Structure 1
Amino acid sequence: MDGSMAPRSPASQYASRDADLGKISVEIEEAEKMIDTKALLDNMTLAEQVSLLSGDTFWSLPPIDRLGIGRLRLTDGPNGARGAGSFVGGVTAAAFPVGIAIGASWNPDLAKEIGSALGDEVLSKGAHVSLAPTVNIQRSVTNGRNFECFSEDPILTAELAVGYIEGLQSRKVGATIKHFVGNESEVERTTISSDIDERTLREVYLIPFEAAVKRAKVWAVMSSYNKLNGIYTAESHWLLNEVLRGDWDFDGVVMSDWFGSRSTAPTVNAGLDLEMPGPTRDRGPKLLAAVKGGEVSVETIRACVRNILTLMERTGAINDHREFKEYAINRPEHRALIRRAGAESAVLLQNDGILPLAQQGTVAIIGPNAKIAQVMGGGSAQLNPHYVVSPWQGLVDALGEENLFHAKGCSNYRFQPLIENPTTFEFFQGRELAGEPVKVVEEPSSLGVWLPPVAEGTVDPHRFSARMRTTFRASEAGVYRVGLTSAGLGRVYVDGKLVVDAWASWTRGTTFFEEGCEEVVGDITLEAGRTYEVVAEYARHDHINLYIAAIRVGIGRFSAEAEIAEAAAVAAKADHAVIFVGRTGDWDTEGSDLRGIALPGLQNQLVEAVIAANPNTIVVLQTGGPVEMPWLSGARAVLQCWYPGQEAGNAIADVLLGKAEPSGRLAQTFPVRWGDNPTHTEDDAVYPGKDGHVRYDEGVFVGYRHYDRHGTKPLFPFGHGLGYSSFAMSDLTVGLPDAAGAVTVTLGLTNISERLGSTVVQIYVGDVETSVPRPVKELKAFSKIALEPGEKRKMSFVLDARTFAFFDTTERRWRIEAGEFAVMAGFSATDIRLIVTVTQKGAVLAL
């Protein structure tokens, strides 16, 4: 899967579908009429109750027509609402900034705005529940899904999650916080055991979920694929009943991740209300038999159904009998929000004064991400955006093409580039591609991803084959590389010649949610200007666990030193050079972790060559997490822009040209090198895992806490970010603890520059003397604020008693040790400006 997109103009997409928003609103209001769920439950047969405890399709639960119960529909995901379509194609949707970008905004109010907008997006896809947000902690810098998560810090993650959920549920759309819990890596994620002690769980990994339940009143929780301390989370009574429903009083639905339920009675008895997707594997007749055999009680079934009905009532699904229809509504207000959010999440890592960029003179626009918009990561968060704006297009619109030069310089793809031509897929019964095709579909590129049902009503999703046909035009003569990845058997022909064969030798790798093979390649010599027929064949394999079927074919040329030399020459003739490097959604993706944090391919060499050619070089990074920067000292400015959604190019241009403030701050520490990360040890059991277990040996020392503990200097610290304005702090005070142990922190903040600007005030707390290992400091509060030139503002923060506590595993309670605590105010984890101490009495706090 890939979050990179060829540019499409927003203007041509404004009316991509006709939709009467007023009609949708009226229909939703009708669906929200109050209904007596207890009476419904009392009138349901046992078979009807059991039918609601699993999906009947990939994205929905079955209706019960006899009782007038509607169909509950769900959709991915965190940065948009894809709807019921596949991961490619389908009805277009708005693409919002990814999770790590929202994290870098440090703005819960913005998260709430985005959540509310996403609620409208979900409704436009005919759904009631969004499978978002993702709040797993960025434990390792190589987690393939870091882009989808907010932060390495539990408090920052929790505050953003609360805002996001409140916004989403304000539209009567259910939020589903995920993945509960310990899913901080994609390596063997469906089978591995995350071994985490309870103190670390309570102080780090459970914090965002607890806030979502207690404060945002989230309506649904998704269990993770992995085991927790040897027990699958979907079967953990301790996690789902004792912690979630007992300690936190959760009253919503617990659902499995897709195909993440592995049993019948154990999951139901543990508190897993809903098995997804459908058709069911472990419930239905199996669950009825378990009730009959005494393995599951009728009251347990009723409790699960009660939770499902509550969710349906909250979202209006219980009385929603509308004809299912998906709309592609390209809302102007969402376009504006995405552009603003993309700019607000940009982090100015380094700047010697060259930014904002003067709008006079010429600019060389260089790099593999310059003309290809990198808008999202890969996997279940992927969708088909209404349009995308590349950095090149954003700068052309702002500066005019006559002032810009361009050179690609090199490539950064993980797989050979897709063939972006109309592509036909023919489906056949059985695995032999025999007879006439039973169905033919058209796709925009050489990527096919199919979820059950495949070619609905025509082929068995477990025994079928497909043939892909498209064309490829060689732009120049030479040797080209053909690449194939497939979740199933595959081979590729070019003009009838077999070039890639992964049929007899197919083995599972890390692609397509760990169900596809690693890319298999073959080389072929092509003539310039000639168009070739490309045919790929696919057959379903018996050993695919998640029922996904997929094939991807790409053709590309090697990046050569000549391309870098050409880019350097282009840079040399311009007044400034802006180089766009980073990764793509094939690298930052669900299903596989990174194998390091160096820029892929020849990008480091490209940056060094451009810097050597033009001393006025600005580097713009687009990645889902940290990268090493061996060229840092030569760059005049470095701007990290993540994957900011469909308005990527416009948002980046706004920041580069000073139309918007780069007010983002790092939500994850950037290490100097991969080896500095706390999970990078000589022991594979710590990461990526060994013998089916991954040990969280660093305990509570995650992210910046690890760097503090070991005195390791990061490349850029947690919370870091420059702006186009400067601020000063003063007058830090901490009041005496009240009867509950809470204290009020105040300080003065002044904008000491000559332009309007924003900053983030960060409050950290550290226990001066402690009987257990505790971090030097922990983020406990923060606030993003904009001030006019010269303006001074008094800021106030309330730190409750638990701010000062650690989790006592002996008494299984939160404990404050009597003594002094340092309260620190600063602009990052290493830029602490003011410190005062406060004395707390010892206390034991309730869960």
Structure 2
Amino acid sequence: MTDHFDTLLDQMTLAEQVQLLSGADFWSVNAPDRLGLGTLRVTDGPNGARGGGSLVGGVTAAAFPVGIALGATWDPDLAHEIGTALAAEVKSKGAHMLLAPTVNLHRSVTNGRNFECYAEDPELTAALTVGYIRGLQSQGIAATIKHFAGNESEIERTTINSDVDERSLRELYLRPFEAAVKDAGTWGIMSSYNKLNGTYTAENAWLLTKVLRDEWGYDGIVMSDWFGSRSTKPTMDAGLDLEMPGPTRDRGDTLVQAVEAGAVDAATVRRAARNMLVLMDRTGALRDLRPHHEVADDRPATRALIRRAGAAATVLLQNDGILPLAPQGTLAVIGPNAKTARIMGGGSAQLNPHYSVAPWDALLDRMGGDALTYAPGCTNHRWEPLLTGDFEVAYRPKDQPDADPVHTTTTNGAEMFIIPPIGDGTLSPSDVQVTLTGTYTPTDSGTHRVGITATGPCAVYLDDALIVDGRDWQKGRTFFEEGCDEVVGTIDLTAGQTYAVRITVTARSGDNLQFTALRAGIGKPMGDAEIAAAATAAAQADRAVVFVGRSGEWDTEGSDLEDITLPGRQDDLIAAVAAANPNTVVVLQTGGPVEMPWAGDVAAILQAWYPGQEAGHAVADVLFGDAEPGGRLPQTFPAKWSDNPTQSQDRQVYPGLDGTVRYAEGLLIGYRHYDRHGITPLFPFGHGLSYTQFALSDLSVTANDTGASVTLTVTNTGDRTGTTVAQIYVSEDAPQVPRPDKELEGFAKLSLDAGEARTVTIPLDHRAFAYWDQDTQGWRVDAGTFTIHAGLSATDLQAHAQIALENWTGAA
């Protein structure tokens, strides 16, 4: 049967069909002009829509809570709302497709991109994924679920081979993608950089064709991650539709010639081109001939949604009754995150927000200046604080560093991510020397540290004196593993004196990704005196709130953490403040777990993640009880780093060795690991306190044709309205194959008035009881008994029931 896509394809030459299969530039795909077709434009996500500019600066955009924060909400309906709002953001940037959501699992506690992913559990991740995609695509904007598959670490991520057994893939790592296809109907999927069981995912026919299209029935497109496609015939034959970004490297004329030589079947090109046309039609891009235009659309409704979602994500880890705070009395506001709004992680998810609200700003609005005192106490930066101000930028050919600039521009702040085109496009980002000139005026006298990271040889001069010499460049862990580690120099500066700053960077060809980037900073170190001053401030106030954690410098794409201790001297700061004032509340902002040696010494702990542009307001809403701490942990917080599932004497298990990372723990990630090995976590998966109390009762389970149905009653036994998450875990009593002790298979988020009881029913299909049978290549339930556990966390299981099931098998 011929449709209008076949008609279009019949009108296209081979070269025009091939044109659809690679980017025209960094963010767009052009259909053939001759046929009057439009351009498909994509934008990075998932916690906003940055638009078509660089990773730094550009048109402002709304910054939503990051992935792990959304995971902490345990609320698919809220994910749907956020997806719907993000569609409007994408449209404001003149785009048709959002590169989101990110749904890889929290295999380790140190993955630099855990902040961008939802959870350690596949079912929680799948439920949120479906909500997010349905909301986004309900407005005609395509989702691009990523990274498919096996990208659970940022170490050597562009080349590493993820060695994962098929059962673990099917039951864990592929599950969110399967739900995105079967339940949400996603229109886009992005392949990961890494190899999966020996083959790059962009060339992996088992993954992209057998599983994705033949078994799951996927009818959307598969695109590469940026520069993640390395070949012509292997990617085409495997089922990779779109190579990004443009201009093309392995398609274009090369693909045309491969077809003409018989190396690639013309039908393969036509099938991929058809997939692209269907996507463009679904999103309206096929007939969208409007000039590209981006606007900053700062909507009141979006502001309100972000603030509400930030509070819904905030997890109350412990509380001796100090929270919610009484509005009266004095408050010492302490810590490196108090006056800095930590709203997002680093990497391709970052954007230029409309605004950002720091905790200090929100507390000042609420309590007034007379009730507050402030002390930073210490720093927590990974790199020296960014050099801000206006800089002139000159671009020259790198082999002519003394020539007149071929292009000049300005930038606000010494941070740049340079992608083509530069000026008129004659100069490539890999063939350029970049010089920034500006000034710096310190506010304090004394020794300052000056640092720079860059993707090529670099240097920083103050008043023409060489302060930082990075010209002997060595590759490190910045800029997606294409940049050096920070090179630092020191200089004594005088407060109020203005110094001339000159920064130079010479481009080099990237090993895997092609761009030029730099970041320079300057800061005055803190020491014992600042911690002592913070303790004094705490002692003189009725209560102290310490804002600590990490930032997008630590929680970032392209670099894993080295441990889970708080950076710098933050542990010392908390200990000193708690010793000075027992009424101390700690507010953590991190993209994952941290060790807390001071947990027993503080009155309360809130985990606020990176909640988006309304960060300060969302945290204040929870601190004062205007909003319930609605979050529950989507990742287990171990007591110490060595307790986590990937800790091993075998470096191939983590961080990887000789080009391979081996998922030796199999199914035992997250809470499954702690269960099996009898390890007590600091805070378990699913944990989160309320400002009221809840009880579960009347648990029953009934078998039916589709699996089973679980019914239970949830009662608010406290004296105020609150939210909780009823969690359902399943155990097989006498498994015939090794299985985790229990697995999350259902949940319900509820808001109940004081004294209210509500009965909820949670369906469990056959898959909730099944395992992947490698021999039959399908899903299997063995006849026997299963125990259903109902609880408020993975360790707070309050009710149990048994059910007997018959044999069942299901296709992939």
TM-score range for the pair, normalised by the shorter chain length:
over 0.9
For 1:287, the aligned partner's letter is L
Q: How does 1:389-400 map to 2 (within 5 A)?
A: 389-400=357-368
Instruction: Work out whether residues 471 and 531 of structure 1, in 8 Å CA contact, stay in contact via their aligned partners in 2.
Output: yes
User: How many Å separate the matches in 2 of 1:432 and 1:604?
Assistant: 49
Deviations 1:371-427 (A, max 9, x none): 000000000000000000000001111111211000000000000000121122111
**Aligned residue pair count:** 810
Q: In the alignment, what sits opposite 1:759? A: 724
Q: In the alignment, what sits opposite 1:738? A: 704
Instruction: Work out whether residues 559 and 602 of structure 1, in 8 Å CA contact, stay in contact via their aligned partners in 2.
Output: no
For 1:380, the aligned partner's letter is S
How far off is 1:771 after superposition?
1.7
1:830 aligns with 2:799: no
How far off is 1:433 after superposition?
2.2
Q: How does 1:509-588 map to 2 (within 5 A)?
A: 509-588=476-555
How far off is 1:156 after superposition?
0.2
Instruction: Work out whether residues 807 and 813 of structure 1, in 8 Å CA contact, stay in contact via their aligned partners in 2.
Output: yes
Q: In the alignment, what sits opposite 1:597? A: 564
Q: How does 1:731-810 map to 2 (within 5 A)?
A: 731-735=698-702, 737-740=703-706, 742-810=707-775
Instruction: Select which of 707, 716, 724 maps to 2:674.
Output: 707
How far off is 1:818 after superposition?
1.1
Instruction: Work out whether residues 352 and 637 of structure 1, in 8 Å CA contact, stay in contact via their aligned partners in 2.
Output: yes
Deviations 1:428-453 (A, max 9, x none): 13344222222222211111111122
How far off is 1:458 after superposition?
4.7
Q: In the alignment, what sits opposite 2:264? A: 296
User: How many Å separate the matches in 1 of 2:733 and 2:88?
Assistant: 48
Instruction: Work out whether residues 487 and 544 of structure 1, in 8 Å CA contact, stay in contact via their aligned partners in 2.
Output: no
For 2:572, the aligned partner's letter is Q
1:374 aligns with 2:342: yes
How far off is 1:456 after superposition?
4.3
| Aligned-partner SS, 2:234 | helix
Q: In the alignment, what sits opposite 1:813? A: 778
Q: In the alignment, what sits opposite 1:507? A: 474
Instruction: Select which of 416, 431, 438 maps to 1:470.
Output: 438
1:357 aligns with 2:325: yes
Instruction: Name whichever of 250-259 and 742-751 sits farther off.
Output: 742-751
User: How many Å separate the matches in 1 of 2:577 and 2:400?
Assistant: 52
Instruction: Work out whether residues 664 and 721 of structure 1, in 8 Å CA contact, stay in contact via their aligned partners in 2.
Output: yes
Q: How does 1:70-469 map to 2 (within 5 A)?
A: 70-469=38-437
Q: In the alignment, what sits opposite 1:14? A: none
User: How many Å separate the matches in 2 of 1:118 and 1:47?
Assistant: 35
Instruction: Work out whether residues 311 and 619 of structure 2, in 8 Å CA contact, stay in contact via their aligned partners in 1.
Output: yes
How far off is 1:616 after superposition?
0.3
Instruction: Name whichever of 57-66 and 446-455 sits farther off.
Output: 446-455
User: How many Å separate the matches in 1 of 2:297 and 2:630?
Assistant: 30
User: How many Å separate the matches in 2 of 1:203 and 1:188?
Assistant: 25
For 1:739, the aligned partner's letter is D
For 1:118, the aligned partner's letter is L
Query: What RMSD over aligned residues (CA atoms) do the two structures have, in Å?
Result: 0.9
Instruction: Work out whether residues 119 and 634 of structure 2, in 8 Å CA contact, stay in contact via their aligned partners in 1.
Output: yes
How far off is 1:543 after superposition?
4.3
Q: How does 1:619-630 map to 2 (within 5 A)?
A: 619-630=586-597
How far off is 1:680 after superposition?
1.0
Q: In the alignment, what sits opposite 2:690? A: 723
1:653 aligns with 2:616: no
User: How many Å separate the matches in 1 of 2:722 and 2:21?
Assistant: 51
Instruction: Name whichever of 64-73 and 538-547 sits farther off.
Output: 538-547
Tell me, which stretches of 5 or more residues in structure 1 are unaligned? Answer: 1-34
Instruction: Work out whether residues 363 and 575 of structure 1, in 8 Å CA contact, stay in contact via their aligned partners in 2.
Output: yes
User: How many Å separate the matches in 1 of 2:477 and 2:17?
Assistant: 38
For 1:485, the aligned partner's letter is T
Runs of at least 4 residues off by over 6 Å: none
User: How many Å separate the matches in 2 of 1:280 and 1:744?
Assistant: 52
1:840 aligns with 2:805: yes
| Aligned-partner SS, 1:653 | helix
Q: Give TM-score, length-normalised by structure 1.
A: 0.95
The structure-2 alpha-carbon separation of the partners of 1:379 and 1:543, relative to structure 1 and needing over 3 Å to count, comes to closer
| Aligned-partner SS, 2:144 | strand
User: How many Å separate the matches in 2 of 1:179 and 1:543?
Assistant: 21
Tell me, which stretches of 5 or more residues in structure 2 are unaligned? Answer: none
Q: In the alignment, what sits opposite 1:686? A: 653
User: How many Å separate the matches in 1 of 2:424 and 2:653?
Assistant: 44
User: How many Å separate the matches in 1 of 2:763 and 2:279?
Assistant: 33
Instruction: Tell me the percent identity.
Output: 59
Instruction: Work out whether residues 428 and 439 of structure 1, in 8 Å CA contact, stay in contact via their aligned partners in 2.
Output: yes
| Aligned-partner SS, 2:804 | strand
How far off is 1:89 after superposition?
0.8
Instruction: Work out whether residues 55 and 277 of structure 1, in 8 Å CA contact, stay in contact via their aligned partners in 2.
Output: yes
